[in-house]
Homo-oligomer: A and B are copies of this chain.
Amino acid sequence: MNIAISNASDKPIYQQLFEQISAQILKGELENGYCLPPIRQAAQELSISVITVKKAWEALERYGLIHTVTGKGCFVAELSADRKLEIRNEMILKQMLLDTSYYKSFGLTLDEAIEMLKKVY
């Protein structure tokens, strides 16, 4: 597990965990079928609670990124590259919808948004 948890972040720990793991899965850094570490072990390694790990794993499962088997462990789902791309874009689009509503509230136009995007990217 290559995870960086920050207590300084404004995002809750389980959210950070979810985002980082899901990105790793969708980028193919974690292979299909890969067995995630047991929640107790992950919790200990990251110095966080089991519940927090569980919450992140649940979110991963809701998106179909992993499947869990009691007594065995949690495994990265068998997903095609195309399907992974779909899920990635769904996630990003969903977030972008929220982000742009903020921009729009200031009367920012699409062209202005693109200009700014180029500047910060």
Contact = CB atoms under 8 A, between A and B. Distances in A.
Nearest to A28: B107
Interface residues of A, number: 31
B113 A121 contact: yes
Contacts of A89: 116
Interface string A12-29: 000000011001001100
A100 interface: yes
A107 B28 CA distance: 11
Interface in A62-121: 88-89, 91-93, 95-97, 99-100, 102-108, 110, 113-114, 116-121
A104 B26 CA distance: 13
Contact of A88 (B20, B97, B106): B106
A99 B95 contact: yes
A93 B115 CA distance: 11
B99 A110 contact: no
Nearest to A108: B92
